[in-house]
Amino acid sequence: MKLLNYIQGKFEEPFSSEWMDNFSPSTGETIGSIPLSGHEDVSSAVAAAKSALPEWSSLEPSDRADWLDKIADCLEGKFEEIACLESLDTGKPISLARSVDAKRSVANFRFFSEMIRERQDEVFETDDSTNIVKLRAVGVGALITPWNLPLYLLSWKVAPAIGMGNTVVCKPSELTPLTADLLMRVIDEVGLPPGVVNLVHGNGYAGSSLTGNPDIDLVSFTGGTSTGAKVAQSASPQFKKLSLELGGKNASIVFSDCDLEETVKGVTRAAFLNQGQVCLCGSRILIESSIYDQFMEMFVESVESMSIGDPMDENTDLGALISKPHLNKVEGYVSLAIEEGGQIVTGGKPCLPKELEGGNWMSPTIVAGLDVDSRCSTEEVFGPFVTVHRFDSEEEAIEIANNTRYGLAGSIWTGDLERGRRVAERIHTGMIWVNTWLHRDLRVPFGGVKDSGVGREGGKWSLGFFSEPLNVCLKHD
């Protein structure tokens, strides 16, 4: 599969004629190749977006919402293809690719279409004037998306961005280009005006060239914290509008009055969904001392019962990690955990059939006995690796939960909702769930504090980020 850039409504080879291989995480085999885009590819994609902007941004919002619906309809028709490509490209189980990636990608376009159709300008009256607040397009957007939820996160940005009248250049992760290409095929098929959505593939140059381009007006980036810092460095001096969704080191806090069975299920899912490669995953599990042993026995049993293997098997719970370097990084944290004095409660290499031996495999790993200040307990690992810690009071649980430079998400498990709320309000984070995890409502703000990022997307926050307000004040007679 040789993928191409999508610029001005055309699939294009890179100017350099340079390509890079794309590998299957589960077998290590080559799936295909993508263009290694350079300056000319990025510049022509940005120029295409810029030339499409005046006409696109002057359409009625309801007309743009119609386009989002057309894209959603076409994507829905390719539901199974999305799931298969996403599973192949990321190594995630097909059941997850269906229930999350394929389903939510369609849902994102539908959700933002409805919001944009229903949105009204705000009006403020005074004794002698009327203020009308209009939301206008910002301009040309750079949308940079990661490899863990490729189409889900791309659709989460493209839909509100073009819905609010911007035109965009997308840069998907070089590790997972397949469903971004599928979205371009959909956009081509429905006949979206050329230049409204463009895409450049690449590695090592395209992303930074895009964010540094003077004709880019806004940057929405989801990915690692250190890359986020570089994005901010190049975008901020040019005063580009910036949204950064970065890493997390989220706590799952288990109180002794929780429903143990439901909590074990929830904490297992929060820890290991998508092989722990979700920025919202609960990778530090804090357990009230009085139930520590009982919880651990049930938790270890639950984790060890997960089936790991062929992502295309309907019964698989855990697939492969995204790449060899990423597997090495996560395995490095296992070695570090031992150096830091931790005990590996469960983990290791899974036993797999011969055809999967070239893939990036690791069993879900639980580490106990680490200090709460240790590197393994405070740094983002982004894999099937969790640390467990005891606490004796609400105060101590809150202190441990806040003991990291990240502040993205978290979950609290308790039979006392009042306590759940009280504790939630003291965790320095952007999102927190009580007795559930990743229970998404697309209307709520998504994003983090501290090193987890800048700004919020989701619902009206996305519409706000992808627009500029204009206040028109009309003086009455």
Binding site for ligand NDP (CB under 6 A): 144, 146-148, 171, 173, 202-208, 211, 222-224, 227, 230-231, 234, 245-247, 279, 326, 329, 380, 382
Q: In what order do the strands lie in the sheet with 122-125?
A: 122-125, 129-137, 467-475
Distances 278 to 135, 270, 376, 383, 434 between C-alpha atoms, Å? 32, 9, 17, 8, 18
| Rounded CA separation 77/439 (Å) | 26
How many C-beta atoms lie closer than 10 Å to residue 305's C-beta?
Answer: 9
- The CB-of-360 to ligand NDP minimum distance in angstroms stands at 13
Which CB atom, from 183 or from 279, has the smaller least distance to ligand NDP? 279
- The CB-of-463 to ligand NDP minimum distance in angstroms stands at 22
- The CB-of-285 to ligand NDP minimum distance in angstroms stands at 19
List the structure tokens of 30.
């080559």
| Rounded CA separation 143/135 (Å) | 20
| Rounded CA separation 27/431 (Å) | 35
- The CB-of-206 to ligand NDP minimum distance in angstroms stands at 4
| Rounded CA separation 216/218 (Å) | 6
Sign of CA dihedral 386, 387, 391, 394: negative
Which CB atom, from 227 or from 252, has the smaller least distance to ligand NDP? 227
| Rounded CA separation 471/124 (Å) | 10
Residues labelled catalytic: 245, 279
Residue with tokens 């000319």: 40
Which CB atom, from 52 or from 235, has the smaller least distance to ligand NDP? 235
Which CB atom, from 207 or from 364, has the smaller least distance to ligand NDP? 207
- The CB-of-234 to ligand NDP minimum distance in angstroms stands at 6
Which CB atom, from 217 or from 380, has the smaller least distance to ligand NDP? 380
For 77, residues 6+ apart whose C-beta sits below 8 A from its C-beta are none
Sign of CA dihedral 464, 64, 52, 55: negative
